[in-house]
Amino acid sequence: MFCTLIIARFPKYIGVFGFLSMMIFRLPLMLDKKIKFWKLMGSGKNGTFDIKPDLNQWAMLYTMHEASFYIPRFINGYFKFFKCDVKHLILQPTEGHGLWDGKKIFGDLPKQTENEGTVAVLTRATINLNRLQRFWKNVSASASKMSTAPGFILSYGIGEVPWIKQATFSIWQNKANMKAFAYNMQQHADVIKKTRKEKWYKEELFVRFRILQVKGFDNITEAKLLNLRPYDKA
């Protein structure tokens, strides 16, 4: 099983067409037999969990049995018509745990592997309504420090339902850097403990990926994402 993540930024002042795409794209995704699971999502500002939405940036995630830069024809045409800046990542799930809408959408994954090199991470949760205030009070401080953590490359805050169903997709130079931020950075480690103790989440998912292909980034960023030296990138 392979995963596609698309981040589409609509030009300034026409973000409303990104909002409309969240309704319009449902039909072509439902009818596409190549796509097994899909989600349309909005984005938060600042590349992580953020209570303020980014109305020009929208996301689409889906799984397929093949690794390719495939976008349903209508959706691809829509992006081109509105001159969107489209970032496209092809990912292979390697390890993780948890459910999305009650399903193991990436199949049965081991919790740990020997996979090294650049790692992409998806953390996603449905927050209990009676824990929303606690979640947003605590998560912002630790999330804001991620961009300055050693080994951090980039991240996107995405979600299906504003403030309730939230996810962060981040990319790190290696697993050691990612773990150092998650478990050694005091504020983030404290948040992880509170999620368990105070039962913030109704459902959660944590998955790591190998990055297979990327498109839409500049050459230097693509080289970092694929764990290449800049001069290895054609």
Q: pLDDT tens-digit profile of 98-150?
A: 999 999 999 999 988 887 889 999 999 888 887 777 776 666 666 667 878 88
Kindly state the DSSP code that residue 111 receives in the 8-state scheme: S
Report the distance separating Cα 89 and Cα 214, nearest Å: 5
Task: Give the per-residue pLDDT at 143.
Answer: 65
Domain holding 197: CATH number?
Answer: 3.30.70.100
- What's the total number of domains in the chain? 1
Q: What is the per-residue burial (b if ≥16 Cβ within 10 Å, else e) of 193-229?
A: ebbeeeebbeebbbbbbbbebbebbeeebbbbbbeee
The parent domain of residue 174 ranges over: 2-232
Task: Give the per-residue pLDDT at 206.
Answer: 93
Angle between helices 73-81 and 16-24 (to 10 degrees): 170
Task: Give the per-residue pLDDT at 231.
Answer: 46
Task: Give the per-residue pLDDT at 230.
Answer: 56
| CB-based contact 60:10 (threshold 8 Å) | no
pTM: 0.89
**Helix or strand or coil: residue 146?**
helix
pLDDT band at 188 (very low <50, low <70, confident <90, very high): low
Task: Give the per-residue pLDDT at 189.
Answer: 61
Q: How many CB atoms lie within 10 A of CB 51?
A: 12
The residue ranking higher by pLDDT, 80 or 125, is 80
| CB-based contact 118:172 (threshold 8 Å) | yes
pLDDT band at 181 (very low <50, low <70, confident <90, very high): confident
Percentage above 70 pLDDT, the chain: 85
Average pLDDT of the chain is 87
Task: Give the per-residue pLDDT at 185.
Answer: 63
